[in-house]
Structure formats: C-alpha cells, structure tokens
Amino acid sequence: MLPLELNLEKIALIGEQKEDENMDFRIFLKGQDVEYVDEIVHRLHDQITAEIDCQQCGNCCNSLRSSVTQADIEYLADMDNLRRINFEKGL
C-alpha cells in the first residue's frame, strides 16, 4: 500500500486533480456487489485509521459531514422502526 498522505492541503489538491477519475470510480462502484465492497471498505478503514492520530488532526470530524435528506430520514426510520423525530433531532 502507498504511504498514507496526512497533509490536508495536499489531500484537497490531489482530490481536485483526480476529480474525473474519482467520479469514474464512483460510477464503477455502483455496479459492484454492495456487500463485497462494504467488506473491503471496512478492512481498509481498520488499516488506515490505525495510522491516524486524530488528536493531531481532527479535521475529518469538522469537514466531512454527511448530508441526510428527508427521504433518508424516512427510510432509516422505517427500516429501524423508529420515530422520525429521533433522526431529525440529530440534524
């Protein structure tokens, strides 16, 4: 595996440079077996997070926020048999 890049400015620059490549990869992933991809992502997550000291950075928690739509809330609430208000309080 390549060395892990931790410089946030360099990561942002690389992301901009590879925007088209990243979009192609996202499209590719949509056609793959979800469970298999999820398994790979969890394995990589375990490997990568072991190399990161969040106390030195902490930027991920501040800049990588997920976006949840009203439809997402309804889906999750129905899936977990919970009231929508439980999800909406967290937004």
Looking at per-residue confidence, does 77 or 26 come out higher?
26
**pLDDT one-digit tens code per residue, 21-44:** 999 998 998 889 988 998 999 998
Q: State the pLDDT confidence band at 49, using cuts at 50, 70 and 90.
A: confident
Which residues does 76 contact at the CB level (< 8 Å), separation at least 6?
82, 87
Q: Where are the domains of the chain?
A: 7-51
